[in-house]
């Protein structure tokens, strides 16, 4: 791996992680992505697993090209798809779809190992660095206590769960300390931390400032806030998904994911620091649209 640098993305969702590692040749733009994570990164691995954590049925994928469910826990493209577009690389295929491939070179084009309801071990961070990863983008936890499914089950229906949000906020503080520690151990490591809690909190409290008109209820689902029962073929769904922050009780809409990716990619401190993803990736910033909100 002497001629390659691994570009690593860590995204924390629901107290598990999303990890993507676009391979970057020295002095060039990223060539591929390798993704580890949970449902916000999954592009279809769970379709191949005997699990109830699946979304290979309507109304998932309603806005994805072709309008059919793909295994993404979204109405359309997810965070990884949109990040890949920003990095100008293909969104990697699910690992289990390549499991029986007779062309090992396919793996060099990128692989997505993410699986809905999965997590990542703390030791994985160290292992990734040992394998050569030196550019890390870590996207912190969001205010999970304000997700529709949590609100719907809260003791005070409709309110955010303060305890969960406090845990999420504390987690982010510890992540920053971890990144600094890792950088002290690996002097050539560089990282970008996206404070998604801070940004997502604004989406929820002031949705109108970001083009949304609903930040509490899910677009697709059943019961209180459309979040007591998961999105399914019998559930109703909103007509305009671009106006909703949340697609279902646990997952964001494509519109929300697109905003998050844009802010991580071209944002400024304190939303993203010490550098943003574009700066870390080394891509030309000529046409960058700096987002400072």
Q: What is the DSSP string of 219-254?
A: SEEBSGGG-SB---TTSEE-S-GGGEEESSSS-B-H
Confidence of residue 252 (pLDDT cuts 50, 70, 90): very high
- pLDDT at position 152 over 80: yes
Selected residue with higher pLDDT from 43 and 122: 43
Structure tokens given for 141? 């936890």
According to DSSP, the β-strands at 34-36 and 111-112 are parallel
pLDDT at 10: 38
Mean pLDDT of the 158-165 span: 94
pLDDT at 52: 93
The verdict on pTM exceeding 0.85 is yes
Closest CA to 293 of 195, 217, 216: 195
Cα angle 171-121-38, degrees, rounded to a multiple of 5: 80
- pLDDT at position 140 over 70: yes
pLDDT at 5: 32
Structure tokens given for 228? 């007591």
Length of the chain: 293
CA separation for the pair 116, 17 (Å, rounded): 10
Q: Which of 18-22, 34-38, 159-163, 211-215 has the lowest mean pLDDT?
A: 18-22
Structure tokens given for 24? 């970057």
Structure tokens given for 202? 């604004």
Mean pLDDT of the 286-292 span: 54
Over the stretch 24-78, which tens digit does the pLDDT of each residue have?
444 455 567 778 778 988 999 999 999 999 999 999 999 999 999 999 999 999 9
Closest CA to 22 of 10, 13, 40, 12: 10
* Torsion, Cα of 162, 163, 167, 168 (10° steps): -30
Number of Cβ atoms within 10 Å of the Cβ of 208: 8
Q: Residue 133: what are its φ and ψ, rounded to 5°?
A: -65, 135
Confidence of residue 17 (pLDDT cuts 50, 70, 90): very low
Over the stretch 65-94, which tens digit does the pLDDT of each residue have?
999 999 999 999 999 999 999 988 889 999
The DSSP element (H or E) to which 200 belongs, if any, is helix 196-205
Mean pLDDT of the 230-234 span: 97
Selected residue with higher pLDDT from 268 and 102: 268
Number of Cβ atoms within 10 Å of the Cβ of 292: 9
| E strand map for 118-213 | 133-139, 190-194
Closest CA to 161 of 140, 146, 142: 146
Tokens 């209180």 correspond to: 224
Mean pLDDT of the 220-238 span: 97
Q: Residue 156: which residues within 8 A CB-CB, separation 6 or more? A: none
Confidence of residue 291 (pLDDT cuts 50, 70, 90): low
Q: What are the Cα distances from residue 109, in Å, to 18, 23, 101, 275?
A: 19, 9, 13, 26
Percent of the chain with pLDDT over 70: 84
Q: Which of 122-126, 212-216, 285-289 has the lowest mean pLDDT?
A: 285-289
Confidence of residue 283 (pLDDT cuts 50, 70, 90): low
Percent of the chain with pLDDT over 90: 60
């Amino acid at each position: 791996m002497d001629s390659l640098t691994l570009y690593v993305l860590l995204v924390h969702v629901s107290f598990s992680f999303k990890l993507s590692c676009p391979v970057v040749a020295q002095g060039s733009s990223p060539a591929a992505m390798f993704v580890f994570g949970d449902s916000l990164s999954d592009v279809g691995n769970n379709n191949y697993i005997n699990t109830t954590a699946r979304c290979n049925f309507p109304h998932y994928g309603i806005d994805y090209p072709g309008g059919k469910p793909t295994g993404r826990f979204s109405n359309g493209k997810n965070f990884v798809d949109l990040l890949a577009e920003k990095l100008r690389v293909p969104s990697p295929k699910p690992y289990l779809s390549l499991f029986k491939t007779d062309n090992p070179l396919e793996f060099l084009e990128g692989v997505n190992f993410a699986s809905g309801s999965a997590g990542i071990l703390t030791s994985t961070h160290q292992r990734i660095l040992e394998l050569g990863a030196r550019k890390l983008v870590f996207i912190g936890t969001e205010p999970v206590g304000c997700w529709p499914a949590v609100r719907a089950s809260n003791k005070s229906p409709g309110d955010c769960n303060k305890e969960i949000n406090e845990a999420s906020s504390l987690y982010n503080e510890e992540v920053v300390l971890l990144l600094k520690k890792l950088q002290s151990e690996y002097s050539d490591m560089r990282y970008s931390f996206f404070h998604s809690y801070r940004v997502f909190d604004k989406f929820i409290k002031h949705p109108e400032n970001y083009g949304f008109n609903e930040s509490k209820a899910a677009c697709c689902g059943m019961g209180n806030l459309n979040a007591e029962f998961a999105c399914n073929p019998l559930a109703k769904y909103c007509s305009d998904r671009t106006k909703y922050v949340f697609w279902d009780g646990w997952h964001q809409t494509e519109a929300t994911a697109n905003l998050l990716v844009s802010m991580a990619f071209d944002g400024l401190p304190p939303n993203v620091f010490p550098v943003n993803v574009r700066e870390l990736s080394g891509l030309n910033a000529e046409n960058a649209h700096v987002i400072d909100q």
